[in-house]
Structure 1
Amino acid sequence: MKQDRVRTDVLDIAFEEHGPSHGPPVILLHGFPYDVRAYDEVAPALAKDGCRVLVPWLRGYGPTRFLTASTLRSGEQAALGHDLLQFMDKLGIKRAALVGYDWGGRAACIAAALKPERVRCLLSSGGYNIFNTAAFANPASAEQEHRFWYQYYFHTERGRAGLTKNRRDICRLLWKLWSPEWQFDEATYEKSAASFDNPDFVDVVIQSYRHRYGYAVGDPALMGIEAELAKQPKISVPTINLHGGHDGVGPAPEQDNQAKNFTGPYSRRLLPRIGHNVPQEAPAETVTALRDLLRETTR
């Protein structure tokens, strides 16, 4: 494994690379509030299969940095998708298998929906992860609304101050609430929590959660992408939805309601006792699912 960096239009993206440089590319994308350590047991297994495995830190995390102070510290969905495609462009990757959950799953779904020719296959925890921001005007059920407490907290200046001062406590609590069966230790948490010390972490997170509810402006450079995402584009690439059965923020429904968003081969695999952080809680199942997709897409 080696760590490297690549410059896009607005970012200096840090990433880890495993496996042979000539292998079929696989990009592993972490979510909030996690980092590349979520794939510590996934990446080496795929590298042994001969894959070129790339694991970037998202904007606002770890050693990834913005190039200029003038760029809006946006965490909106269009920014995440744009960053992924730029990352591929700058590394000369024409087509890759994508794996992601939470924010990383959103980036992967956006790339698959808008640029299907760039995506060999998709492993997305939770399935279709592209927002219809207009739908956020409609309240959800009380059961679901209470799971969004942290989002409403971040909508306030108290929430910004709280995340600035208590980011480790807040993110640790989210780990526990979202993965109630996962008995992680403090050393495991701290390996990822170090990424939250990024100087842009708070601004990116706050903008992300405010933007989706219409409480913060988006990046003008990304308005075209946001307009495309508002149409809720279908995903045509072969996809497996690897959904934690005990996901504390997005519980898996008994009936899969995601299939309608996919026009290509699609299936859902439920993982009992697994929470939100699927690749770190269930690395073997993650590797198996991706191997199945890679095998299927070689035919």
Structure 2
Amino acid sequence: MTGNGRVTTFIRNGLTFDVRDEGPIDGVPVVLLHGFPQDSRSWDKVAPLLHRRGFRTLAPDQRGYSAGARPRACWAYRTSELVADVVALIDQAGLGPVHVVGHDWGAVVAWGIAAERPDRIRTLTALSVPHPAAFLRAMLTSRQILLSWYMFAFQLPWIPERMIASDGYGYRALLSSGQAPDRAKRDLESMRDRSRARGALNWYRAMFLSSPGSVTGKVRVPTLFVWSDGDTAIGPVGPELTARFVDGPYTYEVLHGVSHWIPDEAAERLDELLGNHLHNH
């Protein structure tokens, strides 16, 4: 933390995480959690819109992405560890309960915080990825397992690190998923750093090391879930099942004609939804 009260880093278990703390310093805090293969810059279009509404945003570069927080072992990326990282940010910054918004893998972490540490959360907003228990059920009952083939490919050693190089397969895959060329280059350029690529991929490699309890808990905080029907990675079944795993106030919104990359592609529409959700709670 700097002298002006801004949070630039936080530390947990010897790991140092970078944070982008922006907007009105006295605004109600919103923690923004990025997904794969992005970092805090994925919120560049969304954060200024929230600042205009009077919110303060804190966007960490999560485990594997921050240069000072890249453990080598796969087990270090279990869901419980990812959740504990964000709780440490909230606690060390002295923010009290916050709004949490997560996209892609950031949504998985956000679901986990809401289920396990509801005392730290005002509201939850999950983008693209449904409640983990709903996603697992969709994997068993729909074509979701076919859409998620890459999760199994990422279990291989070292080959995926090469696949996501900025000028290779990873770039073409992002373009085919609907990501804009400049954003795809932004997201994959840093993956030339092999330690960062390994850390990002370890989120997938640790999936089978997480305890079942970390993905099945029901959520009771006010929840907004946003899915887009142009998402090539997440089919409709998991999103449709998610309501079963939320006992608190729940809103489900579908963005039509939008790809998986909601914060980049539909920032203004997302801002409208967030404005209503955050102010109402």
The bucket for the TM-score relative to the shorter chain is 0.7 to 0.9
Contact between 2:164 and 2:188, CA under 8 Å: does it hold in 1?
A: no
Partner of 1:30 in structure 2?
Answer: 34
Cα 1:91–1:194 change in 2 (3 A) is farther
Partner of 1:42 in structure 2?
Answer: 46
* Alpha-carbon distance in 2 for matches of 1:91, 1:32: 25
Partner of 1:192 in structure 2?
Answer: 187
Contact between 1:241 and 1:269, CA under 8 Å: does it hold in 2?
A: yes
Deviations 1:202-237 (A, max 9, x none): 33344332332x3xxx4xxxx7xx36315x111111
**Residue type of the alignment partner of 1:202:** A
How far does residue 149 in structure 1 lie from its aligned partner after superposition? 2.7
* Alpha-carbon distance in 2 for matches of 1:272, 1:266: 20
* Alpha-carbon distance in 2 for matches of 1:81, 1:279: 21
SS in 2 for 1:272: strand
Q: 1:207 aligns with which of 193, 202, 212?
A: 202
Length-normalised TM-score, structure 1: 0.81
Contact between 1:35 and 1:195, CA under 8 Å: does it hold in 2?
A: no
How far does residue 86 in structure 1 lie from its aligned partner after superposition? 1.1
Contact between 2:30 and 2:56, CA under 8 Å: does it hold in 1?
A: yes
Contact between 1:28 and 1:55, CA under 8 Å: does it hold in 2?
A: yes
Contact between 2:99 and 2:123, CA under 8 Å: does it hold in 1?
A: yes
Cα 1:21–1:254 change in 2 (3 A) is closer
How far does residue 93 in structure 1 lie from its aligned partner after superposition? 1.8
Contact between 1:96 and 1:119, CA under 8 Å: does it hold in 2?
A: yes
Gaps of 5+ in 1: none
SS in 1 for 2:27: coil
Contact between 1:19 and 1:52, CA under 8 Å: does it hold in 2?
A: yes
Query: Structure 1 residue 90 and structure 2 residue 85: aligned?
Result: no
* Alpha-carbon distance in 2 for matches of 1:142, 1:48: 41
Contact between 1:15 and 1:56, CA under 8 Å: does it hold in 2?
A: yes
How far does residue 178 in structure 1 lie from its aligned partner after superposition? 3.1
**Residue type of the alignment partner of 1:66:** A
* Alpha-carbon distance in 1 for matches of 2:134, 2:244: 15
Partner of 1:174 in structure 2?
Answer: 173
Partner of 2:3 in structure 1?
Answer: none
Q: 1:126 aligns with which of 125, 128, 131?
A: 128
Query: Structure 1 residue 258 and structure 2 residue 242: aligned?
Result: yes
Query: Structure 1 residue 146 and structure 2 residue 146: aligned?
Result: yes
138-147 or 49-58: bigger deviation: 138-147
* Alpha-carbon distance in 1 for matches of 2:188, 2:72: 26
How far does residue 254 in structure 1 lie from its aligned partner after superposition? 10
Partner of 1:228 in structure 2?
Answer: 213
How far does residue 112 in structure 1 lie from its aligned partner after superposition? 0.8
Query: Structure 1 residue 65 and structure 2 residue 68: aligned?
Result: yes
Aligned residue pair count: 275
Q: 1:248 aligns with which of 232, 255, 259?
A: 232
Length-normalised TM-score, structure 2: 0.86
Partner of 1:76 in structure 2?
Answer: 78
Partner of 1:281 in structure 2?
Answer: 265
Deviations 1:74-112 (A, max 9, x none): 333222211111111121121110111111111111111
Cα 1:70–1:251 change in 2 (3 A) is closer
Partner of 1:292 in structure 2?
Answer: 276
* Alpha-carbon distance in 2 for matches of 1:285, 1:210: 33
**Residue type of the alignment partner of 1:200:** S
Say what the alpha-carbon RMSD is for the aligned residues.
Answer: 2.9
Cα 1:170–1:94 change in 2 (3 A) is farther
* Alpha-carbon distance in 1 for matches of 2:228, 2:190: 24
How far does residue 277 in structure 1 lie from its aligned partner after superposition? 1.4
Q: 2:222 aligns with which of 238, 244, 248?
A: 238
Contact between 1:36 and 1:55, CA under 8 Å: does it hold in 2?
A: yes
Gaps of 5+ in 2: 1-5
**Residue type of the alignment partner of 2:213:** E
SS in 1 for 2:123: strand
* Alpha-carbon distance in 2 for matches of 1:23, 1:85: 19
Contact between 2:64 and 2:199, CA under 8 Å: does it hold in 1?
A: yes
SS in 1 for 2:173: helix
**Residue type of the alignment partner of 2:189:** A
How far does residue 125 in structure 1 lie from its aligned partner after superposition? 1.3
Contact between 2:67 and 2:196, CA under 8 Å: does it hold in 1?
A: no
